Amino acid sequence: MASSGLAKIETQKMKEEICHDDSSAPVKAQTVDELHSLQQKKKSGPNTPIKGHHQTAFGSEVDRNKQQLQSISASLASLTRESGPKVVKGDPSKQSETPKVAHASQFHQHTAPNLNISDSSLKFTHILYNLSPAELYEQAIQYEKGSFITSSGALATLSGAKTGRSPRDKRVVKDDTTSDELWWGKGSPNIEMDEQTFLVNRERAVDYLCSLEKVFVNDQFLNWDPNNRIKVRIVSARAYHSLFMHNMCIRPTPEELENFGTPDFTIYNAGKFPCNRYTHYMTSSTSIDLNLARREMVILGTQYAGEMKKGLFSVMHYLMPKRQILSLHSGCNMGKEGDVALFFGLSGTGKTTLSTDHNRYLIGDDEHCWSDHGVSNIEGGCYAKCIDLSREKEPDIWNAIKFGTVLENVVFEEHTREVDYTDKSVTENTRAAYPIEYIPNAKIPCVGPHPKNVILLACDAFGVLPPVSKLNLAQTMYHFISGYTALVAGTEDGIKEPTATFSACFGAAFIMLHPTKYAAMLAEKMQKQGATGWLVNTGWSGGSYGSGNRIKLAYTRKIIDAIHSGELLNANYTKTEVFGLEIPTELEGVPSEILDPVNTWPDKDAYKETLLKLGGLFRKNFEVFANYKIGADNNLTEEILAAGPNF
């Protein structure tokens, strides 16, 4: 054979000349699957093993898992078949053998054989239980179209056809109890449905969830006050929904999860599946149904995750007042000396901006409880608007959008995955949901002492409300019930003019009882704890929108700082006409002439006309509340009415 001309390789000689052998022993795996199994460590138990067995509050880990699965199966049980599906923990794509299952019938005692067998009872329903954000990322990206990792590490998702809440499709079961307790009729957000219709929708949701190969189950808490927290279970079909609620509810420790037991409230989110339009009380293919007696919520026909958050808020508005705890749609922060302030305000009033203060601790941005022990955040996360978000305007929110955060309906660059927060192609209601720990100055646990100041924010585009007013208790109740701000809306001829917006208790869509009940509780707690009420206008001065100017944010911050420090309590005050508001005559850092709005209007007659117009709008809005009586003598209602505009 002809020589190729290549030198012969002497392997033995090469081996001897190697000065460092960095080769390693072969992996301890015979197949690729075995290699993958070595990659992931088994989840460690929260407690130290005892005598070779992992013991928990329920006994062994096997017993604990069995009881958890039985509880979940019971949650998913059909009310007609009286049995739940066969459930097993774990991703079905990773199951290598027939698993041990739990079935609700294992702990339901039947006097006769159950003959109502369906196809869903013959299959396994895999339960993805309290998955971590990393696991939920994998599920979303692999199985949910429209899920992407953005350049900051957040998970971008789509909520489908609905990009906001559907308040007209929300229903509450009206029964013997709720017919007397809840606020019904004109002005109320509560639209009734009967028990039977709820059960029809519940059955539809449960059947849909049980027909799936896998469902996500979150067991979490509401309310950071350990004495008054609520156990919630969320059953959903999407990883997006599971991660959203992982962020928004309070996340249990492993020990707390072991002792979780039966939930106090359960959400069945079958939002990918529509309701039956022929069902009584249905007005569309969407239905969000609350049954307070059963402590259950059913979602059909909408994938917008905010329905779960606000649905639970409505539940807290019902449950907490029963414990003499006031539930509040507010922001809350605390100074380094322990002074707590509550911030109320509708969209555009600056609630988020003003309650986020680097010199103060953030207790929460949206939902709170005020009990005999102080204030507590209801949630474990924040749900921030993202439209036109920038690092300069909202650095805390910007920096919180990282791994673990859910970004709803945002638009991003195809290659770099950088989000364009100015793009409204999908919706203007783009949102970010992230754990509150992502905010650097968040106070953990999210609790604080009794509030010292209650700040009601209004963006008055009419330009007639003072930049700051000190309120007495009756005025605080009146303006709390009113929940006023003014938006700028385009008219037919293209001229823009202010439009008054009122939302009772600054969150009318979520309250369950009559607004006067919440207002009376607020006044009682303020009086008992010596808190002061303030009305702060972040809107216009020197004229209405179009002629006046927006009050400078720097001035508003000076006002808020003076409220926190107590400086404003010691100021000299004068009273305005019509609304009868007490306003300071001077405040350091704020021009004295803007403290009384009449001084800033060049046309005094126009000011008076606009002031009377706004007063009339307040009166008209309050008509729906005027006939509601509290107590036998009705004195409180009359006192609140007297605190309104007088002309």
DSSP state of 328: E
Q: How many whole angstroms separate alpha carbon 408 and alpha carbon 405?
A: 10
User: One of 202, 246, 272, 310 is an active-site residue; which one?
Assistant: 310
80 is catalytic: no
Q: Is 385 a catalytic residue?
A: no
Strands (E) located in 372-495: 374-377, 381-385, 406-408, 411-412, 419-420, 431-435, 447-448, 451-458, 468-471, 484-490
DSSP sequence for 295-323: TEEEEES---THHHHHHHHHHHHHHHHHT
Q: Which of 64, 251, 431, 470 is catalytic?
A: 431
Q: Pick from 257, 216, 219, 258: which is nearest to 240 by CA? A: 216
Catalytic residue at 310?
Answer: yes
Residues 340, 376 contacting (CB under 8 angstroms): no
| Max CA separation in the chain (angstroms) | 119
List the catalytic residue out of 366, 427, 460, 532.
366
Q: Does the active-site annotation cover 352? A: yes
Tell me which of 241, 329, 368, 558 is the catalytic residue.
329
Examine the residue annotation and report whether 351 is marked as an active-site residue of this protein. Answer: yes
Are 163 and 429 contacting, i.e. CB atoms less than 8 angstroms apart? Answer: yes
Active site residue 43: no
Told to judge if 66 belongs to the known catalytic residues of this protein, a careful annotator would answer no
49-65 CB burial, b ≥16 within 10 A, e <16: eeeeebbbebeebeebb
Short-list 290, 310, 315, 309, CA closest to 300 = 290
Helix, strand and coil percent figures for the chain, each rounded to 5: 30, 25, 45
> 358 catalytic, yes or no?
no
3-state secondary structure of 511: coil
Q: Active site residue: 352, 427, 544, 610, which one?
A: 352
Choosing from 347, 425, 574, 585, the catalytic residue is: 347
Terminus-to-terminus CA distance in the chain, angstroms? 117
Note whether 321 and 327 are within 8 A (CB).
Answer: yes
Catalytic machinery residues:
165, 310, 329, 347, 351-352, 366, 431
